[in-house]
Amino acid sequence: MLLPETAPQTDLIEVVRITARPDSDAVVGDVLEIRVEEQARQVLDQVSALPGSEIHRCFAPAYGLRAHSSTDPLFEIAFCFRCHGALVLGPGGTPGPVRRGLQGFDPDSGPGRELLDLFRACAGTAGA
């Protein structure tokens, strides 16, 4: 999956359980866990390893990520594991140096399963 150009600046990632459908501004939800420095980079490595896939229609994301530098929000991604869609948003809904928009990813791939396992572990719903 293509990550925003600002991804290398990431120092902190919030793992989010989405509570409202993302709009053009933000991934709305509850922070499940915060990953910093090396752990944040490992999460981004998992995301960048996601192979592409055809997007289906539902887009009802359950989980997302919010990436921050040491001083600023960088980007957000909402993941729908049913329709294979990942919505990439910039801070405050502005394009900035972010590759915005909906991308397809393969949730059944190794990296896709690992990412879903991470989300479920953070939510305390492993195996669900």
Task: Give the count of beta carbons closer than 10 Å to the beta carbon of residue 25.
Answer: 13
Domain ranges of the chain: 7-123
What pLDDT, on a 0 to 100 scale, did the predictor assign at position 27?
87
**CA 45 to mean position of chain CA atoms:** 12
What pLDDT, on a 0 to 100 scale, did the predictor assign at position 83?
93
**CA 64 to mean position of chain CA atoms:** 4
CB 19 within 8 A of CB 54: no
| pLDDT tens, per residue, the chain with 128 residues | 888 888 999 999 999 999 987 666 688 999 999 999 999 999 999 999 999 999 988 888 999 999 999 999 999 999 999 999 999 888 654 444 444 578 899 999 999 999 999 999 999 865 54
Alpha helices per DSSP H over the chain:
37-48, 110-123
What pLDDT, on a 0 to 100 scale, did the predictor assign at position 100?
57
